[in-house]
Amino acid sequence: MEKDQKKKKLVFRLNTFILLLSLPLLFFGLDFFVFGQRISFDQHFHGGTAAKKTVDEKEFIKFHLSRLVRGEDRRKLDETGFACDTAVHSVHCVSTKPVRIDTGNMTVYIPSGSDVQNETSIRPYARQEDLPKPISPVRMILYGNNTDPPSCEFHHGLPAVVFSSGSTGNVFHEINDIIIPLYITTKQFGSRVLLVVEDYKPSFVAKYRAILSRLSYHEPINPATNATVHCFPSTVVGLKYHDNLALNASDIPGGYGMPAFRTFLRATFSLRYAHVSQVPRPRLVLLSRTGTRRFLNEDEMIDMIKDAGFQVLVVKRSKLASNIEKFSRLINSCSVLLGAHGAGLTNEIFLPTGAVMIQVELLGTEWASNTYYGDTARAMGVRYLRYRIDPDESSLVKLYGRNSSVVTDPGSVFIQRGLIPARIVFLDQQNVRINLARFRETIVEALSIVTDSFAR
């Protein structure tokens, strides 16, 4: 125990030293190595006096806030205490100065530091291009030194992170637009932030409680039921987004890549298997869609897959939404995830490394399949197998005729009819009757990948 403490103190001193060394190196990722992962916040402040703790804590927070902007934005933040990062998919603003947030009308008051008043407004949600979703704006007023902001009703010692819990119940959007960006934005603070969840959806907060409570020690604030003025030492409004179900360790704030996120998920949901070779026997989970993009011969598929040597679990879509804690463990206990292109495949993030993801690519879904779920699988070290259906396996043949451009040239439908009508055809009107003989080859390949992993 005592030895442990000495060690921590040593780490603390080293850490401070490395902090000084690494300040000019912010863009090279070293900072992350020192702060983001190896050294937790508590270790960092171990053994200091109360006054020192406060100073260090302020510096700790300021340092990590500044990692959320780069280049010109960083210079602006250093100079004025306020800057926004505007990217293709997302926008977030950082204030290192004390702010007041009136949650009644989601207005953030930030001192401008001069006699000039200015204001800006953003919708704190990633994938801005998917708006208009009903995402409420947050107004930020940079008030001049000749105006008084509303007075504080609650004082908080930690930065606020303001984001919208969105509008859909779609697991892809929940994970892609909110959970991953929230992780990217807040992980570095070591749970020492307060979440202000605009458009607060109790179902979202309940579903992702395990994740939210790991990223923040505190109960999230729901502005709709807590319309008061809250004061914070600093704030981030909006979340940093990297890419489709992706994390880029070189992007802001630096150091948060897919492996770190997967480690976080395993810890959060107590996932047992890090690697597929630990899964006791070949086990395949089939995501059974019940609305659109159904497998019309699902029972025969299941028989064939069992016959090939897998234990098969079938999960109906409605079940996906319910209990993420149980469901993540179920997915993690499987060596293969199989499904038609669709949001349910987002659950691939729970697979062990070295597992296999088989995506059935329906007509017209090739690009989306690859971009949304294929790239993610590869980034996780999960083997990605695609089963591209033949036109004759698609129900669209019956609907449009074998010679229709819908069947012979799906790409042209996107160009001629536009994105939305094309999506209706390919995503909403299409089911598939799998060619069992051909599909068996993919299943056998998956089995050999999984069994090879035992041999290693």
Ligand X SMILES: *[C@@H]1O[C@H](CO)[C@@H](O)[C@H](O)[C@H]1NC(C)=O
State the minimum distance, in angstroms, from the CB of residue 245 to ligand X. Answer: 13
What are the structure tokens assigned to 335, written together?
């060596």
Cβ atoms of 250 and 243 within 8 Å: the answer is no
**Cβ nearer to ligand X, comparing 17 with 154:** 154
Asked if 403 touches ligand X (CB under 6 A), the answer is yes
Cβ atoms of 12 and 46 within 8 Å: the answer is yes
Q: CB-based burial of residue 100 (10 Å sphere; 0-12 exposed, 13-18 middle, 19+ buried)?
A: buried
In whole angstroms, what is the distance from residue 261 CA to residue 183 CA?
8
**Cβ nearer to ligand X, comparing 205 with 274:** 205
Stretch that binds ligand X, among 43-51, 275-283, 397-405, 440-448 (CB under 6 A): 397-405
Stretch that binds ligand X, among 5-13, 333-341, 350-358, 396-404 (CB under 6 A): 396-404
Nearest to 293 by CA among 360, 385, 392: 360
Q: Which of residues 93-122 bind ligand X (CB under 6 A)?
A: 102, 104-105, 107, 114-116, 118, 120
What is the residue type of 83?
Answer: A
Asked if 402 touches ligand X (CB under 6 A), the answer is yes
Asked if 386 touches ligand X (CB under 6 A), the answer is no
Nearest 5°: phi and psi at 285? Answer: -110, 125
Asked if 371 touches ligand X (CB under 6 A), the answer is no
Place of tokens 């004082």: 155
**Cβ nearer to ligand X, comparing 259 with 309:** 259
Stretch that binds ligand X, among 31-39, 311-319, 395-403, 427-435 (CB under 6 A): 395-403
**Cβ nearer to ligand X, comparing 249 with 321:** 249
State the minimum distance, in angstroms, from the CB of residue 229 to ligand X. Answer: 8
**Cβ nearer to ligand X, comparing 69 with 302:** 69
Asked if 226 touches ligand X (CB under 6 A), the answer is yes
What is the residue type of 313?
Answer: L
Question: Binding ligand X by CB under 6 A: which of 49, 151, 225, 290?
Answer: 225
- Secondary structure (DSSP) of 415-438: HHH-HHHHHIIIIIS--B---HHH
In whole angstroms, what is the distance from residue 14 CA to residue 40 CA?
14
**Cβ nearer to ligand X, comparing 255 with 354:** 255
**Cβ nearer to ligand X, comparing 2 with 129:** 129
Task: State the number of binding residues for ligand X (CB under 6 A).
Answer: 24
Sequence-distant (≥ 6) Cβ neighbours of residue 204 within 8 angstroms: 165, 166, 174, 178
What is the residue type of 37?
Answer: Q
Annotate each residue in 163-182 with x if it binds ligand X (CB under 6 A) or - if it does not, as one string. Answer: --------------------
**Cβ nearer to ligand X, comparing 105 with 416:** 105
Q: CB-based burial of residue 281 (10 Å sphere; 0-12 exposed, 13-18 middle, 19+ buried)?
A: exposed
Asked if 10 touches ligand X (CB under 6 A), the answer is no
Reduce the DSSP state of residue 358 to 3 states and report it.
strand
198-201-206-208 Cα dihedral, nearest 10 degrees: -60
Stretch that binds ligand X, among 244-252, 318-326, 428-436, 441-449 (CB under 6 A): 244-252
Q: What Å distances lie between residue 321 and 207, 244, 253, 333, 406, CA to CA?
A: 8, 20, 30, 18, 32
**Cβ nearer to ligand X, comparing 5 with 117:** 117
Asked if 71 touches ligand X (CB under 6 A), the answer is no
Sign of CA dihedral 208, 209, 210, 212: positive
Crossing angle of the two packed helices 436-455 and 298-308, in degrees rounded to 10: 40
In whole angstroms, what is the distance from residue 124 CA to residue 305 CA?
44
45-47-52-56 Cα dihedral, nearest 10 degrees: -10
- Secondary structure (DSSP) of 388-401: EPPGGGBTHHHHH-
In whole angstroms, what is the distance from residue 254 CA to residue 256 CA?
6
Asked if 198 touches ligand X (CB under 6 A), the answer is no
Residue nearest to ligand X (CB): 114
State the minimum distance, in angstroms, from the CB of residue 88 to ligand X. Answer: 11
Question: Binding ligand X by CB under 6 A: which of 77, 221, 337, 396?
Answer: 221
Asked if 370 touches ligand X (CB under 6 A), the answer is no
Q: Which of residues 119-158 bind ligand X (CB under 6 A)?
A: 120, 139, 145, 150, 154
Asked if 251 touches ligand X (CB under 6 A), the answer is yes
State the minimum distance, in angstroms, from the CB of residue 243 to ligand X. Answer: 6
**Cβ nearer to ligand X, comparing 157 with 401:** 401
**Cβ nearer to ligand X, comparing 91 with 276:** 91
- By CB under 6 A, name the binding residues for ligand X: 102, 104-105, 107, 114-116, 118, 120, 139, 145, 150, 154, 221, 225-226, 228, 243, 248, 250-251, 401-403
